[in-house]
Every structure is written in C-alpha cells, then in structure tokens.
Structure 1
Amino acid sequence: MLTIHADSKGRALAVDGAWIARAGSLEDLLADRPGARVRRWPGILTPGLVNLHGDELLEEAYHPDPREADALGTEPLTGDALAALAMDDARWGASARRGVQRMLAHGTVAVSCGDLRNRAVRDAVHRSGLGVLGRLGRPGGTASLDPYACGLPVTFAEPRESGSAARFAVFDVPDEAALAARGAGTCVATVVGGRLVYRRR
C-alpha cells in the first residue's frame, strides 16, 4: 500500500514498498494519489543519517538492557567496563539489537564500518535493514549514537527523490540549523526500506 509521509513544511514522500515513488508537496502527492495512506509528522523530513562509528558502537560497546540499568547504567559500556562483562554470542546479539534500535531512534539509516567480525552483530545489523557502508581505518571523533555529537561532519544517506530507496528520517525541529543545534535526539520517525522502524511515542 502506498504511504505518503509529510512534514510540517508540507514536504512529502510517497513510499511504495521499499522505494520512493514520488517526492513533492503534500498537496501535489495527495492530488496524484488520493487513496494513499497519509502519515503527518511534526518537524522536517530529511535523508536518514549515516553513523560513522558502526564498529565502535556495535562490536566494541555493550548496550545495557533496561533491566540492567541499576547495575550498569544506560549508556554504552566500552573499554575496561566492557572487558569486565561475560560476553557470549547471545549477549553480543542482544546488545547489537539494542544498539541498532537506539541508532534508529536517532534517525540513522546506515552505518559505516569495517568488516563486522562478530556474527551475532552482523546478523542484528542485517535483520534491521540498516545500510552498511565500508570504511578504511577509524573515522576519528567520538563514537556517539547521535551523529551530531561525534565531532565530525554529519553524513546523510542518499537524497530523497523519485526512484531512490525509502530511507529517511523526521526530526521535530523547524529547520536544518535547529537540527544541527539540537541534535538527532529530536528524531520522531525513521523509515528504512519503506518500513517505519522507529516512531517516538
């Protein structure tokens, strides 16, 4: 079923399966596809973000389960804190799934990484539909779930245009300048492969 996603500015994307069928104003898309389902979002539609620290956040960090918050906190654990944990494939897989969900909650639609060596992590990334972009070496900056907080230029996925993959995000801000100032924690929705994979409640 074709779905039109529209932001507060009246910009909209018509999504058919995993692809963007048309980009334009909400008014034009509704006239073209009057029977489409419409999702209206506060803020602005943007191409989804690319997190440059895929390895660091998924294979070199542990994302605590909320039930572990009293003992481990809520932030990703790295270094000595990670080394102190008894990590097996099941725990790595669960951590990676939580990490991926937290990336999606920051408008991330792709990660940049080297060769993911941990099979449980690879499986979690593959099942999520996140795009995987190769890289050589480490990107620098500080690994963060919020690409705006890593100290590097922010990278977006491909443009949102007719015929391109339906990978985009919506941020509850008035414009791109406010997004840069307030960060990706303002994400209200993320779409990957045409599926709504994150929606802020």
Structure 2
Amino acid sequence: MRCSWRERGEAFREWLVPYAEGLGVEVLVSDDNDSYAVAASELGLSHQLCIAHVRKNVTKGADSILKQAKREYDEGDEKLRKLKEDLKTLRGLPRELHEEGAHEIGRLHRGYLWAAPPKRKGQRTKKATATYRMRMLTLKLWNEWRKVGLHLARPELGLDGTNNASERGIGKSKVKIQDDEGLQEHIERMKNGIALTQWLYGGEEECDLAGEMMAA
C-alpha cells in the first residue's frame, strides 16, 4: 500500500500530540516537508519553516532550472535572459526576507503562468520544461512565504527562523533520568521519533509505520 504525504503527516501528528499537549507547544519549526504542515495544521500550531532549509532548497532548485534552460534555449534567447534575471531575484528573496517579498514572488510567478505542464506521450510523461519548473518553484515559495517569515512577524515567539537548535540537540542529546523505567520510556520515544523521521523522508514508500519502528 502506497502512503501519501497526508497519511505521513497524520502519523507524525499522532506521535507529536503528547509533546504538544504536555509542553504547551505553540509553534512547530521544521523544514518544508509537507507532512509537517499537515501535523501543524491539524494540531492548530503556528508553523515556522526553517529559513536555512528554504534558502538551500530555493538555490538548489534555481541552479537546476538554469542548467536545464541553457540546454533548451540559445544563449541569445530573450526567454533565457529573463529567466536568468528572475532566478537571481528569486535566490535573493529568502536571504533578504524583506516586507515586499510576497509581492515580489507573486510577480515572478505570474510571469510564468504561460508555461504549460508536461504532457503525456503514450505511457510516458514528458519532462517538465525549465519555465514550468520556475512556475512551480515560485508558486511553492509564494504559498510558504508566511511560514518563512513567521519569526519576523511574531518576534514575541523568540524564534530565530531555523531549527538548528533542535538538530544540534538531536545530535548531541545528553539525558539525565532518575530511574531505569524512565530511561526505557525515553529510549522508546527517541526510537519512535527517529524511525518516524526516517519514514517521512525515506525512499521506501510502503506505509508500514509499525514495522519501521520495530526495525529501529
């Protein structure tokens, strides 16, 4: 059975519930995996996207689009020139995070609404063009923009816009627990959390969360 990002998000939500309720969590800080957005929405949490991850993904996507565009257009083509300029602008937006960012992304997106999605050719789907990929990349960032800038819009939350602290904590966690029972419970929670994270990102698409956790 194949597992959708929504099903993965619901599984993550179930794991997150006791922590969110027990600690009074208000904000989920994560990368842009769609599964996290599902969990945040269903739990009524504000959602901050890690700006470091967003910047990395936008840069990676922009570089890939430009590389493809150079194969599709001649060097002097006006479409290639415009795409180069727009990609440069797009790369800078998550770095600068200025107030007009959403407006600028919307402007970029509207400039590529003409780009058609890939069509099926027999049993195969043709590869998306560079301009269509630009259309979709700008749409994704536009939709996520409020989550990218949450730490600026709500400074009272005390966020720095990244999940670096939690990643450092996972990598260097040192836990002091008073008894063996508490230690075992903590280990099981950690194992389940690690297994769930691997499942959310893993190449395997089989929807068998229990099996994944048992194998951790």
Q: Would you say same fold, with TM above 0.5?
A: no
Structure with the bigger percentage of strand = 1
- TM-score, structure 1 as length reference: 0.26
Structure with the bigger percentage of helix = 2
Structure possessing the higher relative contact order (Cα contacts under 8 Å, 6 or more residues apart):
1
- TM-score, structure 2 as length reference: 0.24
